[in-house]
Amino acid sequence: MSPLLETVGLRAGYGAVEIVRGLDLRVDPGEVVALLGPNGAGKTTTLLTISGELAPLGGEVRYLGQPTRDPLHVRARKGLGLVTQERAVLMELTAAENLRVSRCDIGRAVELFPELEAHLQRRVGLLSGGQQQMLALARCLARSSKLLLVDELSLGLAPMVVDRLLGAVRAAADDGLGVLLVEQHVHKALGVADRIVVMRRGAVELEGTAAELRNRVQDIQDAYLQPATSEATS
């Protein structure tokens, strides 16, 4: 099976500040890869570089089998979806307008998240945080996405809403979507992921299948997920 996404020796950061160092990563169709690590590990920097929001400092990003340096809007047209911590929605537009701008199938979005149907004509800024995140995720899942990048989907949301969102991500992967998921809750990540990659100080410290690591949660948290004061922001 050809990977949807590969990074080869990826180096990434901001200006002259290198955050990610020599990262090799792979996501296959139908697979959820959870990217874990303490604050400052380089998780968000990795996602932004893979998405085309940041230019790599070195190494290579391969999408759909080809090296790419395309910006985000070009990668999006080729089936890449990005859901950020800031909830990638347009607050002044209605929910329906957000879906139309993203060239989404509104019927499919409502099928994925029936909770949105009654709010399609409401301005997004008036929706709850959970509804906004459902909309952000629907904007990616209700179109022809091949690869989904998700950064801290659960941030600030109630556990039941998080479970709802992660369940939709898992179901989409079961239908063939590839997913790279940054998640702060280890147990929830293990519940939906096929593979786990743990980063620390910009490099991979540990990786394995979710099945292999499910009984090592406390060890992983103690050894790898504690923040180090010398680390830069993620």
pLDDT per 10-residue tile (average), the chain, 234 residues: 93 94 97 94 96 96 96 94 84 95 93 96 95 94 94 89 95 97 91 95 94 87 68 45
Nearest-angstrom CA–CA distance, 120 and 123: 8
Q: Which residues pair with 32 in a beta bridge?
A: 179
User: Which tokens hold the place of 34?
Assistant: 């959870």
Structure tokens at 97: 């307008």
Contacts of 214-223 with C-beta under 8 Å, sequence gap 24+, read 214/190, 217/186, 217/187, 217/190, 220/36, 220/186, 221/186
Entry pTM: 0.91
CB atoms within 10 A of CB 112: 19
Tokens of 87: 């909830």
Whole-angstrom distance, CA of residue 24 vs CA of residue 229: 25
What per-residue confidence (pLDDT) applies to 233?
A: 45
CB neighbourhood size of 123 (10 A): 15
From residue 62, alpha-carbon distances to 67, 112, 141 in Å are 4, 29, 22
pLDDT of residue 185: 87
* Count of CA atoms in the C-beta half-sphere (13 A) of 89: 27
Q: Are strands 32-36 and 58-63 parallel, antiparallel or unpaired?
A: unpaired
* Amino acid, res. 106: I
pLDDT at residue 96 in the model: 97
* Gap between the Cα atoms of 184 and 36, Å rounded: 7
